[in-house]
Amino acid sequence: MSLAIEHEPTMDPAPPGAGGWARWSEFPWWLVGLVATILFFAYMVVTDEVWRQAFNFIKAGLSITLVVTVIGFVIAMALGLLVGLARLSKKTVLRQLAMYYIEFIRGVPVIVTIFFFSLVVWGQWLGAIGVPKPTNFWRTTIALGLIYAAFIAEVFRAGIESVPSGQREAGLSVGLSNRRIMRHIVLPQAIRNIMPALGNDLIALLKDSSLVSILAVRELTQMAKLYTGSSFQFMEGYLVLTGFYLVLTLSLSLVLRWYEGRIRIPGH
pLDDT tens per residue, range 217-227: 999 999 999 99
Provide mean pLDDT across the span 192-219.
95
Q: What percent of the chain has pLDDT over 90?
A: 66
Residue 30 lies in a domain: no
What dihedral do alpha carbons 151, 157, 158, 161 form, nearest 10°?
180
Please check whether residue 141 is in contact with residue 72, taking contact to mean a CB–CB distance below 8 angstroms.
Answer: yes
Residue 3 lies in a domain: no
Provide mean pLDDT across the span 138-154.
96
Give the number of domains in the chain: 1
Residue 22 lies in a domain: no
pTM above 0.85, yes or no: yes
110-128 per-position pLDDT tens digit: 999 999 999 999 888 988 8
Contact partners, residue 228, CB within 8 Å, separation at least 6: 234, 237, 238
The pLDDT value given to residue 12? 52
The pLDDT value given to residue 148? 98
Structural domain boundaries enclosing 222: 49-263
**pLDDT averaged over the chain?**
89
When mean pLDDT is compared across 26-30, 227-231, 260-264, the lowest value belongs to 260-264
Could you tell me the CATH number of the domain that includes residue 182? 1.10.3720.10
Please check whether residue 219 is in contact with residue 53, taking contact to mean a CB–CB distance below 8 angstroms.
Answer: no
267 confidence band (pLDDT: 50, 70, 90): low
Residue 36 lies in a domain: no
Instruction: Indicate whether 21 pLDDT > 70.
Output: no
177 confidence band (pLDDT: 50, 70, 90): confident
The span from the CA of 194 to the CA of 87, in Å, is 17
- Would you tell me how many other CB atoms lie within 10 Å of the CB of residue 204? 14
Radius of gyration of the chain (CA): 26
Provide mean pLDDT across the span 95-99.
97
The pLDDT value given to residue 14? 53
Closest CA to 78 of 154, 149, 174, 172: 149
The pLDDT value given to residue 175? 78
Please check whether residue 47 is in contact with residue 263, taking contact to mean a CB–CB distance below 8 angstroms.
Answer: no
Q: What percent of the chain has pLDDT over 70?
A: 90
Residue 12 lies in a domain: no
Closest CA to 50 of 210, 247, 238, 244: 238
The span from the CA of 100 to the CA of 119, in Å, is 22
The span from the CA of 211 to the CA of 63, in Å, is 15
**Helix segments in the chain, DSSP class H:** 18-26, 29-47, 49-58, 62-87, 92-106, 110-115, 126-128, 136-162, 165-173, 178-181, 187-208, 220-231, 234-263
31-90 per-position pLDDT tens digit: 999 999 999 999 999 999 999 999 999 999 999 999 999 999 999 999 999 999 999 999
Residue 132 lies in a domain: yes
Question: What's the one-letter identity of residue 229?
Answer: G
Provide mean pLDDT across the span 79-103.
96
